[in-house]
Amino acid sequence: MGGDTADIGLGDGRALAAHPLRAQVLAELHARPFLPATTPRRFLHVGFLTDPLHPQAARAGIEAFCTARGVPSPAEGAKHHRVELGGATLRWESHAEFSTYTWDFPSAEPSAGTLPFFPPATSLAGVLAEIAQPGPLLVAVDLHLVTDTADDLQFNSLFDRASLARSDVNDGEAEIASDFKPDPAGFVRILVRDRGLTPEAAGALVQRVLEIETYRLLALLGLPEAQRLSPEIGRIEAQVARLTEAMRHSEGLAANNRMLDELVALSAELEAGATASLFRFGASRAYEEIVRLRLVTIREQAVPGFPTWQRFLDRRMAPAMRTCLTVEQRQGHMSAKLARAADLLRTRVDVEVEQQNRDLLASMNERTRLQLRLQRTVEGLSVAAISYYVASLVHLLVEGLHEGGVDARLGIHLDPGLVTAISVPVAVLFVWSMVRRIRSAHSDED
C-alpha cells in the first residue's frame, strides 16, 4: 500500500498515489511530542551549535552513545530520538544549526530552602561527559519540577533577587521562576512549582520553558554580530559622506574614476558584511518570534513584586534585538546610498567620456578635412607632374623622328616644339580624366 508515501487505498486493490513528501509533512506535526512528567522531576538540558554543512556530527555522537549502552539508535534520517536508561530518559533533537540533549531524572521533594542534587555517581559532569560534544556549548539548563510549598526560601537560596523573574502560568496551575544567570556549574537554574498539573500538562510546560531559554540564547547570537559590524558600517558611512562631498567639487575624468573605484570597493566591503550576517540576523528574528509565541502559550500572570518572564525579556532582550534590526537596516540604507552615489558618479564619468569622444570626433573631422585638402592639392600636382612627363615623352619621340628623317621620307614635316605644345593640353586632359576616374572608382567601393 506504500505506507512510506502515505498512499490511500480505495478498497478494490487500487490506491491514490500520494505526494512523495506527504508522509514527511504529516509526521512533522508529531515529530516532537510532549512527554508526560510526574512531579518531582529534574531536567538537564544542553544545546550545542552544529555546522549546518556537517549535520552528521551530532548524529554520530548519539549513535555512539546508544551503541555503547546497548539501546536502539536513531532511525535513518530521524531528527529526534528518545531512549530509556534505567530510571532516566535521554531525549535528543537535531535542528538546523543546533542539537539539544535533555536528561529527565527522577528527583526527591526538596526540603525547606534547598533543592535536590545528584549523588556523586551521577554528577552533572559525569552525565554530560557520556556523549561526545558535537559543537560549542550554548545552552545549559538545570530545571526542577517540584510540588509548590508556598515557601519562598527556595528563591532566596537559588536565585539573585535583583534578576529574579516569576510568573504564574497555565491559569495558575504552576509557577515558573529564574534569574537567567548561570550557577557555579554553568547551568541556568529554572524552578517550576506544580500546583495541580496533570503529567501531560507538566511535560508540555517543561518543554516550553526549556524552549524559551534555548531560543532566547539563540536569538541573542545576533547581538555580537551586530556589535562587530556596527563600527565597520560607521566607518563606511563616514567615507561615503567624504566621497559624496568631494563629488561636488571634483573635476576631470581621472579624479572621478578614482572616486568611483573607492565607492565600488566600499560597496563590495558592505555587501560582504551584509551577506555574512544575513543568516544570523534572520535567524535571530525567527528565534525571537518563537520565544514570544511560547510565552503567549504558557499564559503568564504576574506575581506581586516580581516581573514576569515576558516583561523581563522585553526589558533585557528587546534592546538587543533592536540593535540587530538597526544594524541590518543601516546595511540596507547604506547599500542604497552607495548604489545611488555610484550611479551619479558613473553618470558624470559617462558624460565626460562622451565629451571627450565628441572632441575627439571633431578633431578627427578636422584632420580628415585637412587630409582631403592635401589630397586634392597632391592630385593637382600629380596631374601637372604626370602631364609634364607625358609631354616630355612626346617631345623626345617627335624630335627623334624629325632628326632621323622619318618625317621627310613620309612626306610630313614635324616641328618638335609645335607638336610638344599641342600635346601638353591633350596630356593634361587625359591625365586629369584618369585621376578623376580612379578617385570615383575608390569612392564607389567605399
Whether 2 and 80 share a structural domain = no
d(CA 416, CA 395): 6
Bridge pairing between strands 15-16 and 41-49 = unpaired
Q: Which residue range is the domain that position 392 belongs to? A: 379-445
89 part of a folded domain: yes
Q: Are residues 188 and 62 in the same domain?
A: yes
The reported pLDDT for the residue numbered 2 is 41
Radius of gyration of the chain (CA): 47
Give the pLDDT confidence score for residue 327 in this predicted structure. Answer: 92
pLDDT at 112: 40
Alpha-carbon distance of 269 to 237, in angstroms, equals: 12
Same domain? For 75 and 4 the reply is no
45 assigned to some structural domain: yes
Would you call 43 helix, strand, or coil by DSSP? strand
pLDDT at 288: 93
Residue 365 belongs to some domain of the structure: no
Residues 6+ apart with CB under 8 A from 62: 73, 74, 81, 92, 101, 131
Domain shared by 17 and 152, yes or no = no
Cα 173–chain centre separation: 45
In this prediction, residue 3 carries a pLDDT of: 44
Check residue 117 and give its pLDDT: 40
Note every long-range contact of 376-379, with CB atoms under 8 Å and residues 24 or more positions apart, other chains counting.
379/435, 379/439
- The answer to whether 229 touches 273, Cβ cutoff 8 Å, is yes
Residues of the chain with confidence (pLDDT) below 50:
1-4, 111-122
Supply the pLDDT for residue 8.
67
Residue 18 and residue 66 share a domain = no
Inter-residue contact 93 to 80 (CB < 8 Å): yes
pLDDT tens-digit readout, 16-31: 777 777 777 776 666 6
For strands 98-106 and 15-16, give the pairing. Answer: unpaired
pLDDT score of 1: 39
Q: Strands of 252-323 (E only): list them.
A: 301-302
Rounded to an integer, what distance in angstroms lies between the CA atom of residue 102 and that of residue 34? Answer: 13
Cell 544545546 locates to 47
